[in-house]
Structure 1
Amino acid sequence: MSQAHILIVDDEPGIAEIIGAYLERDGFEASWLSTGAAVLPWLATVQPDLILLDLMLPEVDGMTLCRTIRTTSSVPIIMVTARVDEIDRLLGLELGADDYICKPFSPREVVARIKAVLRRQAPTATAAPPDQGFVIDPETMIASVKGVRIDLTPTEFKLLAVLATHPGKVYSRAQLLDHLSDGYKDVFDRSIDSHIKNLRRKLAAAAPGVELVQSVYGVGYRFERSDLA
């Protein structure tokens, strides 16, 4: 993790400079772009390990960028904004963001969030048995259903890995958050619903008519591979 490359996308030079300095002090490599329009051309030639993406950007906003990046890449994205209403938070997560941090914040908090998201790229869950057409490999972060590979974000993959390790076990939102947030309790419960919604949509596209991740009303979610029989 010490040599991870972080792309900072923010139109405020002062904030970007401070965050970059803190990241470099912790051993990261940091790059900075000040406009949304510069991001996609930059990503065409450079592959960062994580993107710290401001919501309010000139030319192309952060939401649009996140949506576009997610069509071709699962690079972790932390969205940054001064807009704190829940609708924006949920929308950001539904677009594929891996975390969300609100201004004002301390540079140390940002660095801690970045480290937490990068740690989550390497799930510790044991691989589920590849029976009945379902395969999930934590080493390569590849999941497939009936031979169809599923393109998942790191957060979606970790959720699936946790659920699939214990088929039939019901996990509450709080339990899933414990696996995802590494102690950052300000990650809110409803973000789990957004990630699960995206995960179920992708699983359904790979295996129509099969409901691998099931809702348990009033409790949480469970994984059932029996539908693959």
Structure 2
Amino acid sequence: MKFLVVEDNARVSAALRAALNDQGLEAVCADTGKAAIELLDTNPDAVLLDVDLPDCDGFTLCSAMRASSSVPILVTTARSDHASRVRGLDLGADDYLVKPYNLAELLARVRAVMRRRRPTTGSAAADAVPGDLILAGPVRIDLWERVVMINGFPVDLSDEEFSILAALARRPGETLDFEQLAEEILRTKRMTLQESIHRYIASLRQRLGDPHQLEAVEGSGYRLTLAGTV
């Protein structure tokens, strides 16, 4: 996996490159916006973008990168104010991480972005189109981007958990049996299917914060209970 590190501080850039190399990852570095645009042609897997650059505004650079590429962009900056976060995300960044940050967290966020961009593995989400959303109280499910948010905060789900949730959310109030739910994860895992479903449901309940939304139907399976459904 190759990172494009856009950072004008040579010490920070060198340290980040060394840390990534220690993890078996490749890093190419740019200390200006002009160099970053040129290196974007090397097809990095992700961009780590500091917005304080000597030759241009990093937010403008983020917008320009997004206009020409779908590469995941993570803004890494000391700017922690709300306005900067919103601006970065609105201009096309996939995530926003405030310095100083932990390398493990950075890599976890990169993996989360890559999972959201990965082709779908479950049939319920496969038919999604841009803007295909399901709202259930504080829970927002974006079937196209494969993103779940609760009260505006993202929930990091595995592909299997998302596929199960998407299937249930597509058919609110309806009971889906174990075989139907198993179809949603069959391409990614080969396990004892009923035990797998129980485990993923338990994890989803914990992550969603309301265990009553995912209701067990004795002898049948599970159903997602949304506000206003019976």
Short-chain TM bin = 0.5 to 0.7
Matched, 1:86 2:70: no
Aligned to 2:138: none
Aligned to 2:39: 42
Where relative contact order (Cα < 8 A, 6+ residues apart) is larger, the structure is: 1
Work out the CA distance in 1 between the residues paired with 2:144 and 2:56.
32
Consecutive unaligned residues in structure 2, runs of 5 or more: 132-140, 160-230
Aligned to 2:184: none
1:129–1:42 CA distance, 2 compared to 1 (3 A): closer
Aligned to 2:20: 23
5 Å matches for 1:9-158?
A: 9-43=6-40, 45-122=41-118, 126-128=122-124, 135-136=127-128, 143=129
**Displacement after TM superposition at 1:113 (Å):** 2.5
Aligned to 1:173: 150
The CA RMSD measured in Å over matched residues stands at 3.1
8 Å CA contact 2:7–2:32 kept in 1: the answer is yes
Matched position secondary structure for 2:68:
coil
Q: Deviations over 1:19-67 (max 9, x none)?
A: 1111111121111111112111222x31100000001111022101111
Work out the CA distance in 1 between the residues paired with 2:66 and 2:78.
23
Instruction: Give the aligned residue type for 1:96.
Output: G
**Displacement after TM superposition at 1:72 (Å):** 1.9
Consecutive unaligned residues in structure 1, runs of 5 or more: 137-142, 146-156, 164-170, 183-229
| TM-score using structure 2 length | 0.56
Matched position secondary structure for 1:160:
coil
Work out the CA distance in 1 between the residues paired with 2:8 and 2:89.
22
1:91–1:32 CA distance, 2 compared to 1 (3 A): same
Matched position secondary structure for 1:108:
helix
- Once the two structures are aligned, what percentage of the paired residues are identical? 39
Matched position secondary structure for 2:27:
strand
Work out the CA distance in 1 between the residues paired with 2:120 and 2:152.
15
Extract structure 1 runs of 4+ deviating beyond 6 A: none
**Displacement after TM superposition at 1:105 (Å):** 1.9
1:87–1:181 CA distance, 2 compared to 1 (3 A): farther
1:16–1:108 CA distance, 2 compared to 1 (3 A): farther
Instruction: Give the aligned residue type for 2:74.
Output: I
Q: Deviations over 1:160-219 (max 9, x none)?
A: 2548xxxxxxx763497214699xxxxxxxxxxxxxxxxxxxxxxxxxxxxxxxxxxxxx
Q: Deviations over 1:73-121 (max 9, x none)?
A: 1100000111111011011101111111111223333233223322332
Matched position secondary structure for 2:70:
coil
Work out the CA distance in 2 between the residues paired with 1:125 and 1:107.
29
1:128–1:107 CA distance, 2 compared to 1 (3 A): closer
| TM-score using structure 1 length | 0.56
Instruction: Give the aligned residue type for 1:8.
Output: V
The higher radius of gyration belongs to 2
Aligned to 2:5: 8
Work out the CA distance in 2 between the residues paired with 1:10 and 1:181.
31
User: Aligned residue pairs: how many?
Assistant: 150
